[in-house]
Amino acid sequence: MRVLGVDPGLTRCGVGVVEGVAGQPLTMIGVGVVRTPADAELGQRLVAVEQGIEQWLDEHRPECVAVERVFSQHNVRTVMGTAQASAVAMLCAARRGIPVALHTPSEVKAAVTGSGRADKAQVGAMVTRLLRLDAPPKPADAADALALAICHIWRAPAQNRLQQAVALHAATARKGRTA
C-alpha cells in the first residue's frame, strides 16, 4: 500500500509518501513541504497548495491520502488556514477517486511513539527509525506527514475489518428484512 500523508497548512503543508504493509518494514518514497507566501492573497495561496498536492499525486500515484483531522480548539487564525489547506488536499484526492482517511494528531502520535501525547522530537525520532532514515526529516511538518502515512498503513487493516463487519451486518439486516 502506498500512502500520501498530508500535514495541512497554508504556510507549510507537509507531504510524505510511505509504502508498505502493517507488520513489515516500511519504505519512504518521498517527503517534502508545499509552501505558500504569507503575504499572498488567500485565494492564491489555496491555488498554490492545490498545485503542490496535484504534483505529489501525479508523481507518486498513492492509493490513499491520509490527512490530519483538524480541530478548532487551537489558535483561531491558524486553525482556519489549516482547515482550508486540508479541504484542498481532500478535494484533490477525492476528485481522482483516491480514498481519503482522516487521523487525529493523537492517533498519529500513539501509532508511531506509543503515546498520544508525544512531542515533535519523539515523533521525528520514531519516523527516522521506522523508515530507517539517516536523520529526522525537516521541517517538523514533513516528519508529521510521514507519521500520518505510517499511522494509516498500520491502522488500515483494523479499519478494513471494521468496515467489512459493518457491511456484513448491514447485508444480514437487509436479508432479515426481505426474508
- The catalytic site residues sit at 7, 68, 141
CB of 113 to a copy of itself, least distance (A): 26
Binders in 45-64 for a copy of itself, by CB under 8 A: 46-47, 50
| DSSP 8-class letter at 19 | E
72 sits near a copy of itself (criterion: CB under 8 A): yes
Give the three-state DSSP class for 23: coil
41 sits near a copy of itself (criterion: CB under 8 A): yes
Nearest-CA neighbor of 72 among 61, 63, 62, 83?
A: 83
d(CA 168, CA 38): 49
Q: 8 preceded by cis ω (within 30°)? A: no
170 sits near a copy of itself (criterion: CB under 8 A): no
Binding-site size for a copy of itself (CB under 8 A) equals 28
C-alpha count within 13 angstroms, C-beta hemisphere, residue 179: 6
Contact 10, 157 (CB under 8 A): no
Stretch that binds a copy of itself, among 17-25, 94-102, 151-159, 170-178 (CB under 8 A): 94-102
Interface with a copy of itself (CB under 8 A), residue from 73, 176, 177, 179 = 73
C-alpha count within 13 angstroms, C-beta hemisphere, residue 59: 14
Interface with a copy of itself (CB under 8 A), residue from 87, 110, 125, 133 = 87
CB of 161 to a copy of itself, least distance (A): 19
Nearest-CA neighbor of 99 among 20, 1, 167?
A: 1
Q: Which residues bind to a copy of itself, rule: CB under 8 A?
A: 41-44, 46-47, 50, 70-73, 76, 79-80, 83-88, 90-91, 93-95, 99-100, 102
